[in-house]
Amino acid sequence: MADERPVRIAWSPRGNRAQVRLLKCQVFEIFFGGARGGGKTDGVLGEFGAHASRYGKDAIGLMVRRSRAELVETIERSREIYGPLGWKLNETEKMWRAPDGARLRFAYLERDADADMYQGHNYTRVYGKRCLSPILQRAA
């Protein structure tokens, strides 16, 4: 009998139609909006997990917010999703690293000029809020 490792499900959209659509969407740029508490942050954390499982070490993500305070709960939620999968969080760099090398970094951009720090970086996924749109365009 082959050695079968149990499948570990750390996150699923659980019937949230918007999250299901996000995971199935083939479009490169997605505007995923809605009211507070609708599952947007959870959806993008799950989407990056799916992206990472598909592309391994080539999956490099950046999630940005306007302030550090906005990241606190997101990072806590990410612990529940990525921790059980063996991912390691570097607290200083605010970056998750998967066992296969995929990386997701959390950052905040309080000023437009903060986007310059990310000029020239290569990311396969960038997640931000609509209010960051001009800043993210500047960094591209």
Tell me 109's DSSP state.
Answer: -
Q: What is the pLDDT of residues 78-128, one digit of tens each?
A: 999 999 999 999 999 999 999 999 999 999 888 878 888 888 889 998 888
Measured CA distances, 65 to 9, 20, 53, 74, 139 (Å): 27, 23, 24, 10, 14
Does the pTM of the predicted model rise above 0.75?
Answer: yes
Instruction: Answer whether 94's CB lies under 8 Å from 75's CB.
Output: yes
More confident residue, 132 or 82: 82
Amino acid in the structure at residue 54: R
% pLDDT > 70, the chain: 76
